[in-house]
Amino acid sequence: MSVSAKSMAPAEPVTLHQRIRADLEGKILSGEWKPGHRIPFEHELMVQYGCARMTVNKVIGGLVAAGLIERRRRAGSFVIQPRIQSAVLEIPDLSSEIAARGEAYGYRLLSRRLRVAAGTDLAESGMIAGEGVVELRCLHLADGRPFAVEDRLIALAVVPEAASVDFSQTAPGSWLLGHVPWTAAEHRISALAAGAREARDLDIAKGAPCLCLERRTFRAEQTITYARQLFRGDAYNLVARFSPKG
């Protein structure tokens, strides 16, 4: 912190690692090294930067992990061909999302039932027929105004504690996040028109467009929970960013 003004340049890399990495990344991202280009051998880079091979190796390893470079034994390391546009979609906890917007988060439990999974919820929720589930319906509020309505199923076979939790104060998403480790999740994003009930809960007109986020969370092969969150179309949008830097 000795320095005065750093302008907005976010502190240029100081360690050898970072300098080399930034250098190589720059060459790739600027297009100076096009996809398919063979980058210098580790041996050459080691001479060029005056460091040990291990250091170069570690840097290139990082670039491989970041999906920028591919390595082939005996042949060398090559700049990779970007194949699909993939973006990291960050799906935060609703309470922190709303807090981040500078609004007051509110939560209300609309209904809670213990029942057995059957019929319609099976296909989309991934629940197993005959399995005990907690069924919740709750409302998320921002500055007192309805923000999203959430329908959730929690599999009791995987999370038996959920049967005895009172969700009237804690949102099920937050509770699960803190209590149950998960290994995979699947999201589906769609747009649909608010039905009569959703319209009433969200305080919008029937038929108004809503953003619908469905999420199934797994642990190993078991479905832990299924959630369907319906957002007012005029009040929310998801943002995803992608940059090869990670």
Partner DNA sequence: CTCGCCCATATGTGTAGACATGAGCGCGGC
Partner DNA sequence: GCCGCGCTCATGTCTACACATATGGGCGAG
Binding site for a second copy (CB under 8 A): 28-31, 34-35, 58, 62, 65, 82-93, 96, 177-178, 180-181, 183-193, 207-212, 215, 220, 231, 233-234, 236-244, 246
Residues 129 and 118: their CA atoms lie apart, in Å, by 5
Q: Do 38 and 76 form a contact (C-beta atoms < 8 A)?
A: yes
CB 155, min distance to a second copy, A: 16
| 26: partner contacted, choices DNA, a second copy, none (Cβ within 5-8 A by kind) | none
Q: Go through the chain and tell me how many residues it has.
A: 246
- For residue 134, report the phi and psi dihedrals to the nearest 5 degrees: -95, 130
| Interface with DNA, residue 37, by CB under 7 A | no
β-pair type (105-116, 132-142): antiparallel
Site string for DNA, 55-74 (x = CB under 7 A): x-x--xx---------xxxx
Among 22, 23, 66, 76, the residue binding DNA under the rule CB under 7 A is: 76
Distance CA 38, CA 105 (A): 52
Report the partner that residue 36 touches, choosing among DNA, a second copy, none (CB closer than 5 to 8 A by kind).
none
Q: How many CA atoms lie within 13 A of 29 on its CB side?
A: 13
- Report yes or no: 60 and 69 within 8 Å, Cβ to Cβ: yes
Please choose which of a second copy, DNA, none residue 183 contacts, taking the beta carbon within 5 to 8 angstroms, the exact cut-off set by kind. a second copy
Tokens of 220: 């190993």
Q: Based on the shown chain and the rule CB under 7 A, indicate whether residue 209 belongs to the binding site for DNA.
A: no
Decide: helix, strand or coil at residue 64.
helix
**Whether 205 contacts 194, CB under 8 Å:** yes
Contact partner, 50, from a second copy, DNA, none, Cβ < 5-8 Å per class = DNA
Task: State in angstroms the smallest separation of the CB of 116 from a second copy.
Answer: 26
Cα(33)–Cα(201) distance, rounded to whole angstroms? 55
Q: How far apart are CA 132 and CA 134, in angstroms?
A: 7
Choose between 54 and 185: whose C-beta lies nearer to DNA.
54
Q: Closer CB to a second copy, residue 112 or residue 174?
A: 174
CB of 28 to DNA, least distance (A): 15
Of the pair 71, 219, the CB lying nearest DNA is at 71
- State the minimum distance, in angstroms, from the CB of residue 47 to DNA: 11
